[in-house]
Structure 1
Amino acid sequence: MFSERNKQMMSPTQISPSGNKEYFIDRDGHVFRYILQFYRTGKIPWPDQNNYDGGGVGDLPTNHIGRSLVTGNDNSSARTLSTAAASTLITRQEIENEMDYFQIPAPTHEPITISYPTLAIAKQLDAFINSLKTCFTSIAQNFIVDISIMFYEDKRLPQANLKEVDNENVKMVINELVYKLFHDFALVGFEILDRFGQDIGVYLMETLPGLSWKLTRGYYDRRYFVSLSTTIIDHQGILDNSCLAKRNNV
């Protein structure tokens, strides 16, 4: 703050009896408090979407920070006057100019405000991937090495296709599992695979050793086939990773 560039601020206006120096800094106090915050925390409190100093009005421009007209610690008064009509706005440019004045380096990148829909879709994507992982784990535990799941553009319920299974009872159990895991994705499964299918496949094969993933799109009935398969069951590997391994080593 007290660099050579700002020589006019380097001479104290007054020295107290205890020897403390007091300075007069001719700056806008509302903007300057962001500079003080930087010296306290090492960070500039940049404007966030629907978040400003006024205390709760969320419809102000996202490139401004609210500035309450009240000072002091009377929180009730501050809340009363913290409305759009009783606030002054500090622009991001004002803060950047103040940073330049005090020679504070600008950040290399600005914080990114992520919209709520983006976060909601990301959460839905995670849930879809977790269902695929659960499905693969379940079929492997039932000694099934291959399953295809169909997701339709017309929002029909996803369906399972068990190529290597002839037993109707097994098919019924797996179909119930697929319904339980994926019925919530009837509306979005096709869209998720259309947008993120390749990334999902790479992620699953990296995180689930032994998984083979194949995504195929049908053009006549507008659907995606997700094929989950694994290598032939490793009998010795199962024993070695079970409680029986300890018994055999006794």
Structure 2
Amino acid sequence: MTSQNDGGRIILNVGGIKYETYRTTLTSYPDTLLGTMFQERNKELLRPNGNEYFIDRNGKAFHYIMEFYRTGKILWLGSNSPITKQELKIEMDFFQIPCSPRSLSTSVLHHNSFPTSEQCEEMLQDFIESLKACIYETSWNLRSYINISFYSSSLKNNNHDVAIDVVKRIIGIDPYIEQIENILEPFRISGYELLKKFELEIEEELKKSIQELKNLEISHQPKWSGMDFTISPYYSVTVKLENPIYKNK
């Protein structure tokens, strides 16, 4: 086991959950966020509480980040995990953990084969879980309304100065909440097709799972052409929540 003379054993308090490790465990991956942070050259920049460092991130997801530093692998448990694949991917991106094609065995982000029926079902479940996360995120932003649109393709723009942002996203969010865009990033292209094929299943699952829904409407809008641009067909998911929503602890 590795030890250091300069207090090499440290505690990472991530979102209230504490992980104990060695500085050299982190610096063995120097291209990652923590690997860079705990380099000797950055020691004077850190302000720990003793040997404890607080990081305001997802503490449950950090379990898998920590295991990467220890094993070099992402040991995600799939549907048996207490966190979703999307939550893990967001944390991997934040901590700059490399995601190889086999890092997540069921990842929809990298492919070297055609999906099986089980993988398609998992993709649908991931999409539903992501929509749930968007609804919760709406409430955490003290909003009672959100409209999310999934376009079948990018907007055709006849005027280069018009609606460039829509072209880039293919997902419309009103009101715009950055966290929701991050949650839905893996479904920029597939979201429309998932809603097209499984609209009723998605709607039923959301209504069953989230009791605070005041109204949920999934609608399809046909192709629309204007003078400057053409909008492709899209599905719109409109959510209204009981307002305000407060949960007693």
TM-score of the two chains, using structure 2 as the length reference: 0.42
Higher relative contact order (CA 8 A, sep 6+): 2
Q: Which has the higher helix share?
A: 1
Greater gyration radius: 1
TM-score of the two chains, using structure 1 as the length reference: 0.42
Q: Which has the higher strand share?
A: 2
